């Protein structure tokens, strides 16, 4: 009995993910596996803070005891102690930075790889809905913007908090009355910090969206295809104007982001300047030794640094929540086409393909792209799909390769539903050659080896010979080590197509899907590519989407699609004899 499958989600995964709020607990979970390292860092921070608190007390002894009594021995020991404390805290600081930065970089690495890996699992539908520059911006700009938070926030909080507590305790030990005067600065500091944090979070979110827009302009305007389009349409000035406007908006956002905290610092500086004056005034009204006053003043000035550090971390963390939200939005995307929980292995594949009542509707559309399509393609035979543009041919081919999932019905290979097969097994079984061939910006050899990393040079050359492109490659200055250029623009359309055929040959798939692979080629080039296809298809189950009917007249079975339905099927002779839709297409 066929397995039942849930209907694909119709609400976009991006919209659901956007509705989720970023919690500090989720951010903290990023550091879970580094608990030991963080514990060591915390211990170092505490030790460093405690040791450094001895400095003011040594200073008091120097001023109140050693100097007035001219006790040289005591003075030497006090000075040596001061130098030793500085040396110990410096060494501890280096060790702490080394460990904490390592933890932060590993967290960043994990985030980058998780986002990249998760996006690799998304269906083609996600990438058709999403701008390429937007995806790149999330991985580079957003994760890059989080670096300061991830690498230094946790240690900064621990360091500043420990230092502030230790300093407050030392100040209270020296004079609790003067300590109360120093703490009067806290309420206005906290109030101003909260206001700045909210403001900067909004600005950061706007800045990252603008950076994504800038990335899109760069991707669209500076790719080979984009440059070619702008030159042929004369749209270069408009692109420059668009880029300039986006860059100008970034200037404004960066200025607002930087200035958002400056007025806070200005206000706090006035308050900080008033505190020491108040302390000196209070000291004059009490009986306090000069050494105690100097030591207390040193502690008081040292207290404000960690306090402001904590408040600044609060601003940075709050504003960075916009970055975390954008990253978690991608990590929370539902994988629409995923591996089954219990995959069925494909062994000794014969290549018998069946489509049983297949239906599919694209998101946002009310008209089915395919409706109740049933076809039987025996192993080793050829099925040709013909029909007008928009009839559903490419959609059907994408469903066979499981680039999308059917909504109704099922597609089987040797009786096994493709949704029950691991995606890696399916990719080894079904090879796809499309009209738009994509070549990587590397050598010809590496482009071919991309299909099978363990392929030997002899196997690569054999595949190129079978695809009738070896002579073209061998005639290049560097042969197989020639760089193909961006998207393979060094080669003609027919040469790129034959390189793609050689790449597919290296995979040696049992089922081959040819999606209008020769429609954009001239007649002579088409003959060469078609000859390569004939060699590629020999002994395999082949599903060909035809633009020119001359290329499919020898197919074992021809199916005519119209508005997502099979209206005729049979071989070339049978369909011509029926004088129906196929005959009309052939006549046209």
How does pLDDT run across 188-234, given as a tens digit for each residue?
A: 666 666 666 667 667 777 777 777 777 777 766 666 566 655 655 56
Q: What is the pLDDT of residue 301?
A: 67
Q: What is the pLDDT of residue 37?
A: 86
CA 350 to chain centre: 38
The whole-number average pLDDT for the span 88-96 is 86
Bigger pLDDT: 537 vs 20: 537
Q: What is the pLDDT of residue 271?
A: 66
Task: Using alpha carbons, list the distances in angstroms from residue 361 to 311, 329, 344, 365, 567.
Answer: 52, 25, 27, 7, 19
Query: What does the alpha-carbon distance between residue 76 and residue 92 come to, in Å, rounded to a whole number?
Result: 24
Read off the DSSP letter of residue 391: S
Look at 89-98, 353-362, 513-522 and tell me which has the smallest mean pLDDT: 513-522
Does the pLDDT at position 305 exceed 80?
no
Most confidently modeled of 26-40, 341-355, 425-439, 496-510? Answer: 341-355
On average, the pLDDT of the chain sits at: 78
Q: Report residue 421's pLDDT band, with 50, 70 and 90 as the boundaries.
A: very high
Does an H or E element contain 417, and which?
Answer: strand 416-417
Look at 19-23, 215-219, 405-409 and tell me which has the smallest mean pLDDT: 19-23
Task: Using alpha carbons, list the distances in angstroms from residue 428 to 337, 422, 431, 574.
Answer: 17, 10, 7, 34
Q: What is the pLDDT of residue 414?
A: 92
Q: Give the residues across from 370 on adjacent strands.
A: 360
Does the pLDDT at position 308 exceed 90?
no
Residue range(s) in the chain whose domain bears CATH number 1.20.1560.10: 13-331
Query: What does the alpha-carbon distance between residue 460 and residue 558 come to, in Å, rounded to a whole number?
Result: 33
Q: What is the pLDDT of residue 584?
A: 84
- Three-state DSSP at 521 gives coil
CB of 448 within 8 A of CB of 499?
Answer: yes
Q: Could you give the residue ranges of the DSSP H alpha helices within 285-340? A: 290-331
Query: What does the alpha-carbon distance between residue 537 and residue 331 come to, in Å, rounded to a whole number?
Result: 40
How does pLDDT run across 270-283, given as a tens digit for each residue?
A: 666 667 766 666 66
The whole-number average pLDDT for the span 165-188 is 70
CB of 135 within 8 A of CB of 119?
Answer: yes
Does the pLDDT at position 410 exceed 90?
yes
Q: What is the pLDDT of residue 66?
A: 82
How does pLDDT run across 228-255, given as a tens digit for each residue?
A: 556 555 666 777 787 788 888 888 877 7
Q: What is the pLDDT of residue 408?
A: 92
Q: Report residue 572's pLDDT band, with 50, 70 and 90 as the boundaries.
A: confident
CATH for 353-587?
3.40.50.300
The whole-number average pLDDT for the span 370-381 is 92
Q: Give the residues across from 143 on adjacent strands.
A: none
- Three-state DSSP at 547 gives coil
Q: In what order do the strands lie in the sheet with 370-377?
A: 370-377, 353-360, 408-413, 416-417
Q: What is the pLDDT of residue 8?
A: 41
3-state helix, strand, coil in the chain (%, to 5): 65, 10, 25
Radius of gyration of the chain (CA): 35
Q: What is the pLDDT of residue 1?
A: 43
Does an H or E element contain 189, and which?
Answer: helix 186-222
Q: What is the pLDDT of residue 559?
A: 92
CB of 108 within 8 A of CB of 140?
Answer: no
Pairing mode, if any, of strands 408-413 and 416-417? antiparallel
Q: Report residue 356's pLDDT band, with 50, 70 and 90 as the boundaries.
A: very high
Q: What is the pLDDT of residue 4?
A: 46
Task: Using alpha carbons, list the distances in angstroms from residue 342 to 6, 401, 408, 410, 449.
Answer: 16, 19, 21, 18, 30
Most confidently modeled of 96-100, 188-192, 556-560? Answer: 556-560
Q: Which CATH architecture has domain 13-331?
A: Up-down Bundle (1.20)
Look at 8-17, 62-71, 366-375, 422-431 and tell me which has the smallest mean pLDDT: 8-17
Does the pLDDT at position 478 exceed 50?
yes
Q: What is the pLDDT of residue 420?
A: 93
Does the pLDDT at position 36 exceed 60?
yes
Does an H or E element contain 382, and which?
Answer: strand 382-386
Residue range(s) in the chain whose domain bears CATH number 3.40.50.300: 353-587
């Amino acid at each position: 009995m066929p397995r039942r499958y849930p209907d694909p989600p119709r609400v976009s995964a991006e919209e659901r993910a956007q509705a989720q709020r970023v919690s500090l607990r989720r951010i903290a979970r990023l550091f879970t596996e580094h608990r030991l390292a963080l514990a060591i860092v915390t211990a170092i921070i505490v030790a460093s803070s405690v040791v450094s608190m001895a400095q003011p007390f040594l200073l008091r002894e120097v001023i109140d005891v050693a100097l007035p009594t001219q006790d040289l021995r005591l003075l030497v020991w006090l000075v040596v102690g001061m130098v030793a404390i500085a040396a110990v805290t410096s060494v501890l600081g280096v060790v702490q930075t080394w460990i904490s930065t390592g933890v932060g970089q590993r967290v960043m690495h994990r985030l980058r790889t998780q986002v990249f890996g998760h996006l690799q699992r998304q269906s083609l539908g996600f990438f058709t809905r999403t701008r390429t520059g937007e995806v790149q911006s999330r991985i580079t700009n957003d994760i890059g913007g989080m670096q300061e938070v991830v690498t230094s926030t946790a240690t900064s909080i621990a360091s500043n908090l420990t230092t502030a507590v230790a300093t407050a305790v030392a100040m209270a030990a020296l004079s609790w009355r003067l300590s109360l005067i120093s703490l009067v600065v806290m309420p206005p500091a906290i109030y101003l910090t909260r206001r700045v944090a909210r403001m900067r979070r909004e600005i950061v979110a706007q800045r990252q969206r603008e950076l994504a827009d800038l990335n899109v302009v760069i991707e669209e305007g500076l790719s080979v295809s984009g440059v070619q389009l702008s030159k042929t349409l004369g749209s270069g000035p408009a692109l420059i104007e668009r880029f300039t406007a986006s860059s100008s908006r970034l200037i404004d956002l960066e200025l607002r982001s930087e200035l958002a905290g400056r007025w806070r610092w200005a206000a706090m500086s006035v308050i900080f300047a008033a505190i020491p004056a108040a302390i000196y005034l209070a000291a004059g009204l009490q009986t306090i030794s000069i050494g105690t006053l100097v030591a207390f003043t040193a502690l008081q000035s040292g207290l404000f640094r960690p306090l402001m550090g904590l408040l600044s971390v609060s601003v940075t963390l709050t504003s960075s929540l916009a970055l975390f939200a954008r990253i978690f939005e991608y990590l929370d995307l539902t994988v629409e086409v995923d591996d089954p929980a219990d995959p069925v292995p494909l062994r000794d594949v014969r290549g018998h393909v069946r489509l049983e009542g297949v239906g599919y509707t694209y998101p946002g559309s009310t008209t089915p792209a395919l409706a109740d399509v049933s076809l039987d393609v025996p192993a080793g035979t050829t099925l040709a799909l013909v029909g007008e543009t928009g009839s559903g041919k490419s959609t059907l081919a994408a469903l066979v390769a499981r680039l999308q999932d059917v909504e109704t019905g099922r597609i089987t290979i040797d009786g096994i539903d493709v949704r029950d097969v691991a995606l890696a097994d399916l990719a080894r079984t079904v090879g796809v050659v499309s009209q738009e061939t994509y070549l990587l910006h590397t050598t010809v050899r590496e482009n071919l080896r991309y299909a099978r990393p363990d392929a030997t040079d002899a196997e690569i050359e054999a595949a190129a010979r079978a695809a009738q492109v070896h002579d073209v490659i061998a005639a290049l200055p560097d042969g197989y080590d020639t760089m193909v250029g961006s998207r393979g623009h060094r080669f003609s359309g027919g040469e790129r197509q034959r390189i793609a055929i050689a790449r597919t040959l290296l995979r040696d798939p049992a089922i081959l899907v040819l999606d209008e692979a020769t429609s954009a080629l001239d007649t002579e080039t088409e003959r060469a590519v078609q000859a390569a296809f004939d060699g590629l298809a020999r002994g395999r189950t082949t599903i060909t989407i035809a633009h020119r009917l001359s290329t499919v007249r020898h197919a074992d079975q021809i199916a005519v699609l119209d508005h997502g339905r099979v209206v005729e099927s049979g071989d070339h002779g049978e369909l011509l004899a029926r004088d129906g839709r196929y005959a009309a297409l052939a006549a046209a």
